Amino acid sequence: MTRPSQAAGLIVALLLIAGCTNGIKTIAPSGAKPATAVTADLVPLATRAPGVRQDMRYATRHNFLGRPVAGYEAGECWLSRAAAESLAAVQSELAGQGLALKVYDCYRPQKAVDDFVRWGRDLADQKNKDMYYPRVPKSELFKRGYIAEKSGHSRASTVDMTLLVVDAKRASKWVRGPLADGIEVDMGTPFDLFDEQSHTDNAQQSPDVQHNRRWLRSLMQRNGWKNLPEEWWHYTLVGEPYPEQYFDMPVRSN
């Protein structure tokens, strides 16, 4: 006779098999009981918005850990279908303005967040301090909210992004500062700088940078996204489809 726990496990196994087809990923939240597993409709952003450039930092050494992060088996942006389709609309608007979106991170497995937490607690590892947190003691990264045990990215509808110049002449009508084809729009700080200078409305930034940050925020708000005030690059889809789920499937190639 099959016990209830065995039956629940069998159901989850069948869902996992079914979820690997047609771009539908079945992901169990980290640490959750099998009965809480849900079918998450995640898609590769490249199939919905090929014009969005991808620079997936956590699949590389170019990040504050200085190495690929656990859970990133491929440098690809995956998002909920709703988030991907919304970004496609944003990119369509930007195409006529000589600009493009560039994403640094999208769906983030819970195991990657756990990797961040382990790194944050290892106070002996300071090798990237000068680049990513020069004015913040590593011992305060948790207290100041730069590292947490849960991330909205794991709900698959949050992105870290900037703007890329495609046509400098057209882009100059919308954004300010140094503009040349192929470069990023000046946002004042690099992605993932743990500092108050990264706050979207930081008043110490130049007028051009303040304009560019506000312009990006206005663009995203019009398309249904909200900004995290502490990070000019961080946006979450309003009405995200999985507001209570933190997924843990590794990021893999399509």
Which residues are catalytic, by number? 231
Return the H-helix or E-strand segment holding 221: helix 207-222
DSSP state of 60: S
Nearest to 55 by CA among 151, 157, 161, 171: 161
| Distances, alpha carbon 42 to alpha carbons 12, 27, 76, 252, in Å | 18, 10, 12, 12
CA-closest candidate to residue 51, choices 86, 92, 104, 81 = 92
- DSSP character at residue 123: T
Instruction: Mention every residue, 6+ apart, whose C-beta is less than 8 A from residue 128.
Output: 64, 65, 66
Burial state string for 82-106 with b = 16 or more CB within 10 A and e = fewer than 16: bbbebbbebbeebeebbbbbbbbbb
Could you tell me if 161 and 175 are in contact, meaning their C-beta atoms sit under 8 angstroms apart?
no
Q: Which of 48, 52, 237 is nearest to 155 (CA)?
A: 237
Secondary structure (3-state) at 40: strand
- Taking the CB of residue 11, how many other CB atoms lie within 10 A of it? 13
Q: Taking the CA of residue 177 as centre, how many other CA atoms within 13 Å lie in the half-sphere pointing to its CB?
A: 20
